[in-house]
Chain A
Amino acid sequence: MLPNPNSKYPIPYILHLADSTLILSQRNSEWCGHGPILEQDIAITNISLDLIGQSRNFYRYAASLIGNDATEDSLAYLRTEREFKNLLITELPNGDWGQTILRQFFFSTYQFYLFQQMQNSNDGQLAAIAAKALKEVTYHVRWSSEWVVRLGDGTDESHQRMLHAIDELKSYTGEFFVPADYEKEIGLDINLIRQQWEEKIKAVFEEATLPYPEKTFTQTGGKTGIHTEHLGFILAEMQHLQRTYPGAAW
């Protein structure tokens, strides 16, 4: 993949944004028909839809910069695990409802502060995608934070499950703020995003009577294509049709 001299943001960075939203969308969609109650089944799948919309915008933009007949579909369906640059947290299995909620809250809060900066970027297309997505992400943050409070400050069982979810997920959140090489010159203030993110998480955790673990190990690798064993299974399921019947359409 040759960088396009006109591109203000590096292509791998745009793919990273696209991949993270696509993979989390795919994960959340597994809840379709399995949500704890109908309204929440609909909520999580609506969030999936928003995320896949975002990923389509990012893939289309990346495809236009890459040229060579690249399309949103070829980028989503024909790249291998090592080429995917999604955050590790997006590919982890859903776990229980609490874990799904907590991941959404961590991720949406990160997106919220990231897109707040990105909507002012010099890269007009990326700024437009971010400004548009920010409106939806605002609802995702609100919805997921309310659930974190409801479960954290709920029953003994739901509280225990949230503690478990924090154990499972917290070490994957550091990756938001560890820039990959392609992220170093994009002009975003990642430290500010981290600060705002931590503040928001702590405030909601306090309301939810949940402890915020200050020191946790940081899992990284997703941004550079080093994934957990889970991504391969997601791609196998998501890509098998295009790989078995190349160019299939309906």
Chain B
Amino acid sequence: MVASTNISIQTVWQILATVTDPEVPVLTIMDLGIVRDIKIMEDAGIEVIITPTYTGCPAMDMISMNIKLAMVEHGYTHVKITSILSPAWTTDWMSEEGKRKLKEYGIAPPKGNAGTIAEDGIECPQCHSFHTKLLSEFGSTACKALYQCQDCKEPFDYFKCH
């Protein structure tokens, strides 16, 4: 057992970089920008401050649990997860690395900045054609829209700007 008092915040960041999103398992929670802060509490416990991607995102409970499990694996048992809503999460916080991984995984990464609702010119993650069409505003999860490539005909998910 490692006593929490000996932990450095840097180590916690490193551990959290191994926790992945249950719905998009190629992305870590660091790629997504969900972890907002890490604090060592007065009683030497660790507080991890996270923010939900979407208000109703059902993955958040699981992400909290996975953070705790990852910390326990490294011997840190006294971990508190605090969820904050402000400032609201935005796709702008997604790392470039994360966007690259998304694309490789077959999901088109968010295009443009938060607040823009891009509809045209979404690149097909399969054949890289920009000749694509929005099929549905809502895809397999709340954070994605469903597109289809007009060239290779493959339907694909697009991670919406948010």
**Cβ contacts under 8 Å, A184 to chain B:** none
Q: Shortest beta-carbon distance, A190 to chain B, in Å? A: 24
Contact A50 B55 (CB under 8 A): yes
Find the A residue at minimum CB distance from B161.
A135
**Cβ contacts under 8 Å, A47 to chain B:** 138
Contact B85 A49 (CB under 8 A): no
Contacts A135-B88, A135-B162 given: A42-B139 contact, CB under 8 Å?
yes
**Cβ contacts under 8 Å, B89 to chain A:** 132
Find the A residue at minimum CB distance from B57.
A53
A199 to B138, CA, bound (A): 26
Contact B55 A46 (CB under 8 A): no
A131 to B139, CA, bound (A): 23
Q: Shortest beta-carbon distance, A99 to chain B, in Å? A: 20
Contact B138 A42 (CB under 8 A): yes
CB within 8 Å: A-B pair count:
73
Interface residues on B, range: 20 to 34
**Cβ contacts under 8 Å, B81 to chain A:** none
Contact B54 A136 (CB under 8 A): yes
Q: How many residues of A contact B (CB 8 A)?
A: 28
**Cβ contacts under 8 Å, B140 to chain A:** 42
Q: Shortest beta-carbon distance, A14 to chain B, in Å? A: 14
A207 to B153, CA, bound (A): 31
Contact B138 A46 (CB under 8 A): yes
With a 10 A CB-CB cut-off, give which of A51, A138, A139 has the most chain B CB atoms.
A139
With a 10 A CB-CB cut-off, give which of B84, B88, B138, B142 has the most chain A CB atoms.
B138
**Cβ contacts under 8 Å, A52 to chain B:** 56
**Cβ contacts under 8 Å, B117 to chain A:** 138-139, 142
**Cβ contacts under 8 Å, B137 to chain A:** 43, 139, 142-143
Q: Describe B's contact surface by its main secondary structure.
A: loop
Contact B54 A53 (CB under 8 A): yes
Q: Would you list which residues of chain B between 16 and 62 have a CB under 8 Å from chain A? A: 52, 54-58
Contact A131 B86 (CB under 8 A): yes
Stretch at the interface among A122-130, A171-179, A212-220, A234-242: A122-130
Q: Would you list which residues of chain A between 124 and 175 have a CB under 8 Å from chain B? A: 124-125, 127-129, 131-133, 135-136, 138-139, 142-143
A128 to B84, CA, bound (A): 9
Contact A132 B56 (CB under 8 A): no
Contact B136 A53 (CB under 8 A): no
Find the A residue at minimum CB distance from B119.
A142
A89 to B139, CA, bound (A): 27
Find the A residue at minimum CB distance from B135.
A39
Interface assignment of B160: CB less than 8 Å from any CB of chain A: yes
A125 to B83, CA, bound (A): 12
A interface residues, Cβ below 8 angstroms from B: 39-40, 42-43, 46-47, 49-54, 56-57, 124-125, 127-129, 131-133, 135-136, 138-139, 142-143
28 examples of A-B residue contacts, CB within 8 angstroms? A39-B138, A39-B146, A40-B136, A42-B138, A42-B139, A42-B140, A43-B136, A43-B138, A46-B142, A49-B142, A50-B54, A51-B56, A53-B55, A53-B56, A53-B57, A131-B87, A131-B88, A132-B52, A132-B86, A132-B89, A135-B88, A135-B90, A135-B114, A135-B162, A136-B55, A139-B160, A142-B117, A142-B137
* Given A39-B138, A54-B56, A57-B85, 19 new contacts (CB under 8 A): A39-B146, A42-B138, A46-B141, A49-B56, A52-B56, A56-B55, A125-B85, A127-B86, A128-B84, A128-B86, A128-B88, A132-B85, A132-B86, A135-B114, A138-B117, A139-B117, A139-B138, A139-B160, A143-B138
